[in-house]
A = this chain, B = another copy of it.
Amino acid sequence: MTPADRGALPADRGALPADRGALPAPPSAGGPAQEDGTFGERFLARAGTLGRLCVGMDPHAGILEAWGLPVTVDGLREFSRICVDAFADTACVVKPQVAFYEAFGSAGIAVLEDALAALRTAGTLVIADAKRGDIGSTMAGYATAWLGEDSPLRADAVTVSPYLGLGSLDPVLEVGERTARGVIVLAATSNPSGPQFQRLGTGEHGTGPTVAQTVVDSVSALNSAHVRHGRAGNVGVVVGATVTDPPVLDAVGGMVLMPGVGAQGGSAADVARIAGGAARLTSPSMSRSILSAGPDTGALRRAVLGSSAEFPPAV
């Protein structure tokens, strides 16, 4: 690599893998890393025994206080220790929310590293909810941080944001394919202003698929080489459980992370309706309704098991 700042906007021109501004090409599947299974296959395997629930680790000030913990790095560490104890062998997927660790600076990130290491040792499937999005070597930097083999922050998957176009995600998608780790792309979120851009029509006069559907269709194309071999791929999407006019997910071919379930209003019926033909790949995500059972580890475990029963493995 030359000392080019290919990570600065708009430096991804000419960078490899190329940012094509169009549907990314399907990756060539196979290779050693895939022998242990894609991220999608590892999700399906774990969901087969634990159900499909994803549990969020969201250590905002309110939950630390509710658990009788100080709003400090020590409180963050104790919260994380309790969550690892309670969720590592009960939840199909555990999803730490990176912002709440980052709010404490490098000391908070160090706590997250320890939590990720403990979850890794336990064999838990972990999504780092980071929603990163950049281009070129900068996007590659984020890929190294969250999916790199030697990174202390490595997780099984990371969430990413496509405002810079789907081609901007190529560097992280490439690392995901190489390491059989997941890249989960924001598609449709159910916050009030979510539809502002996500539901716009593409193409001439906006008559083409919505932005959210375009994201899903691109992810489907990225997973297609794996799907042809009868397995789920490494790439997924985020679609909220209370989205109106959700994208069609039937052919997504990878994990659907679906927040907004439980205390946030989404029901099991909503999840089933939106997931459609992708039900078996859909992981409904809960945070508040689980964490409110804490800080008692036993109560947290029971909350996970109870909610997981609502989302058994789907056929």
A135 to B191, CA, bound (A): 8
Q: Tell me the nearest residue of chain B to A290, going by C-beta.
A: B5
Minimum C-beta distance from A17 to chain B (A): 12
Do the beta carbons of A60 and B109 come within 8 Å of each other?
no
Do the beta carbons of A287 and B67 come within 8 Å of each other?
no
Residues from chain B with a CB closer than 8 A to the CB of A165 are 189, 191-198
Q: Mark A142-162, 1 if CB is under 8 A from B, else 0.
A: 101100100111000000011
Do the beta carbons of A9 and B190 come within 8 Å of each other?
yes
Task: Name the segment of A81-89, A95-103, A246-254, A271-279 touching the other chain.
Answer: A95-103
8 Å CB contacts to B: which residues of A270-307? 285, 287-288, 291-292
Do the beta carbons of B205 and A10 come within 8 Å of each other?
no
Residues from chain B with a CB closer than 8 A to the CB of A196 are 21-22, 165-167, 202, 214
Do the beta carbons of A142 and B102 come within 8 Å of each other?
yes
A288 to B6, CA, bound (A): 8
A287 to B3, CA, bound (A): 10
User: A32 contacts the other chain (Cβ, under 8 Å)?
Assistant: no
A99 to B145, CA, bound (A): 8
Q: A148 is contacted by which of B10, B103, B131, B263 (Cβ under 8 Å)?
A: B103
A140 to B97, CA, bound (A): 12
A168 to B99, CA, bound (A): 14
User: A19 contacts the other chain (Cβ, under 8 Å)?
Assistant: yes
Residues from chain B with a CB closer than 8 A to the CB of A195 are 21, 165
Minimum C-beta distance from A240 to chain B (A): 5
Q: Tell me the nearest residue of chain B to A148, going by C-beta.
A: B103
User: A110 contacts the other chain (Cβ, under 8 Å)?
Assistant: yes
Q: Tell me the nearest residue of chain B to A56, going by C-beta.
A: B8
User: A259 contacts the other chain (Cβ, under 8 Å)?
Assistant: yes
Q: Mark A40-67, 1 if CB is under 8 A from B, else 0.
A: 0000000000000000101011110111
A residues near B, CB below 8 A? Answer: 1-13, 18-22, 56, 58, 60-63, 65-67, 97, 99-100, 102-107, 109-110, 112-113, 131-142, 144-145, 148, 151-153, 161-168, 186, 189-198, 200-202, 205-207, 211, 214, 238, 240-243, 259-260, 263-265, 285, 287-288, 291-292
Chain A to chain B contacts (Cβ below 8 Å), 27 pairs: A2-B62, A3-B63, A3-B66, A5-B291, A8-B97, A8-B259, A9-B240, A10-B241, A11-B287, A12-B191, A13-B190, A21-B192, A97-B141, A99-B145, A102-B141, A103-B144, A103-B145, A103-B151, A104-B145, A106-B113, A109-B109, A161-B163, A161-B164, A168-B193, A197-B197, A197-B202, A200-B211
